[in-house]
Amino acid sequence: MNSIATSIVIIPGVVALLLCLLFTYLYQQSRQAYFRAWQIAWACYSIHYALDAFRYYRPPAHAAFFFSSMFSVAMGVSIFVSTRLTRGSFRFRWYDWAVALAGTAAACIDLRSRLLGTALGTGEHPLNLEVIFLSAVLLYCSAAFYVHAHRKGSVAFQLLAFSLALWAVLLGAIQSNSPWMRCSAVSGTSSGRFRRCCSASPW
């Protein structure tokens, strides 16, 4: 695996795993339900990066591509759920299922575009709906945590809100035609693979 693959898959994957362990420890110490949601989120994101690493070794690995997207969606849904866990007990609502269904649909459409691109020899579809979905979820969660921080006067939740907003912006920059994309082309990495494997730095 080359240095670019290491920087966009291995390093973020290790960071995601460390954050999973951190939230596991925080949950064990406090038994706060929202820590459990973040623990699950980072566990899903660690698996997401592990599957992306597998794709480098076994291309085209369409199944790994799809399940990587699904674990990324699961991470976003877990963070979405955590916004309500900070306010009390949790019950599944219709919009939880709607968010999960939207993410699954985005992953399915991305897989279909990828399969068609492979069959036609045109490469991957330039628009990654899973990344757009995740960016939108993170922006919503950022706003929800900011409102919660304002009500509680919590600096920690304010920092969390700003971190999620920055993460969402980085996702949008990766999806757009940015200098990052041109850099990946020069290095010989396809823009489609770069978008998927870079599907966001953990923070």
**Top-confidence residue, 13 or 189:** 13
**Top-confidence residue, 78 or 128:** 78
pLDDT at position 180 over 80: no
pLDDT at position 11 over 90: no
pLDDT at 32: 84
Look up residue 1 and give its DSSP letter: -
The DSSP-derived string for 22-86 is HHHHHHHHH--HHHHHHHHHHHHHHHHHHHHHHHHHSSS-HHHHHHHHHHHHHHHHHHHHHHHHT
**Top-confidence residue, 191 or 123:** 123
pLDDT at 194: 34
- Give the lowest-confidence range in 33-37, 56-60, 124-128: 124-128
Mean pLDDT throughout 13-39?
87
pLDDT at position 104 over 70: yes
Burial letters 41-72, b for 16+ CB under 10 A, else e: bbbbbbbbbbbbbbbbeeeebeebbbbbbbbb
> Which of 29-33, 50-54, 141-145, 153-157: highest mean pLDDT?
141-145
Distance of CA 67 to the CA centre of its chain: 12
pLDDT at 198: 40
**Top-confidence residue, 105 or 182:** 105
Q: What percent of the chain has pLDDT over 90?
A: 33
Instruction: Determine the Cα–Cα distance for residues 87 and 90; give it in Å rounded to an integer.
Output: 9
- Give the lowest-confidence range in 22-26, 83-87, 96-100, 123-127: 123-127
Output 103-106 pairs: Cβ under 8 A, ≥24 positions apart: 103/70, 103/73, 103/74, 103/76, 103/77, 103/130, 103/133, 103/134, 103/137, 104/70, 104/73, 105/129, 106/69, 106/73, 106/130, 106/132, 106/133
> Which of 93-97, 111-115, 139-143, 197-201: highest mean pLDDT?
139-143
| pTM across the whole model | 0.77
What residue segments make up the domains of the chain, in order of their start? 3-197
Answer positive or negative: Cα dihedral of 26, 28, 32, 34.
positive
Q: In residues, how long is the chain?
A: 203
Nearest to 73 by CA among 143, 130, 136, 15: 130
- Angle between helix 129-152 and 155-175 (nearest 10): 160
